Amino acid sequence: MTKSLNNLNFSTRCAFILLLLSSASQAATFTVGPHGNGDYPTIQEALFAASHGDEVFVIPGVYLENLIMTSGVRLSSLEGPETTIIDGQGGKCFEIAQAAPGTAVIGFTITNGGSMQGGGFWVFDNSAVEIADNVISNCQVGYEGAGIHVQRYSYANIHHNRFVNNRATMTAAISIIVDSSAEIRSNVF
């Protein structure tokens, strides 16, 4: 292969190398459908298949799942929180650890999450995540951050969410602790 590349002019070699690099870095897109009408039947299966820079789109339905988010993946509902529901069934709906920028959860109803902290979202261990356009409801924790709990050197961009009927012994909607930060804007509590 090297010998044949040497026979090409400089412009052609550059174009060939750029083509190889761009095809290797193309982000993948996956769909999730609850009735076999997507690439994967569960959100977790799609997240396990995805890698940094990929997008996962979720077809409307009710998903009974406790999710471990993949770093750098953008997870979005196709039709918004009214029709796309993640039910944590009393466990954490999302655990997001060591997530790189680009990690996002957009457009779901997140409901029935529970634990000691972070029933809807538990963001921790140097994570950076966007949480937007969700309805976060009926999450209950024993301590703090029933809706969203951010801790251990993490950052969350939390915007355009609606928080409904979340309960905790300390902070019900959002808690930010242990050298963490968040931009919190345009939410309804």
Residue 64, both tokens: 């009974």
Measured CA distances, 90 to 23, 42, 57, 66, 77 (Å): 42, 18, 24, 9, 22
Please report which confidence band the pLDDT of residue 39 belongs to, taking 50, 70 and 90 as the band edges. Answer: very high
Identify the burial level of 66 via C-beta atoms within 10 angstroms of its C-beta, where 0-12 means exposed, 13-18 middle and 19 or more buried: middle
Task: State mean pLDDT over 142-158.
Answer: 97
Strand partners, 174: 148
CA dist., res. 63 & res. 83, Å (int): 11
Q: What is the pLDDT of residues 27-36, one digit of tens each?
A: 999 999 999 8
Summary mean pLDDT of the chain? 90
Task: State mean pLDDT over 46-72.
Answer: 97
Please report which confidence band the pLDDT of residue 171 belongs to, taking 50, 70 and 90 as the band edges. Answer: confident
pLDDT at 172: 86
Please report which confidence band the pLDDT of residue 66 belongs to, taking 50, 70 and 90 as the band edges. Answer: very high
In the block, tokens 């026979």 appear at: 7
Residue 145, both tokens: 């951050």
Lowest-pLDDT choice from 24-38, 96-110, 166-180: 24-38
Are residues 121 and 131 in contact, defined by beta-carbon separation less than 8 angstroms?
A: yes
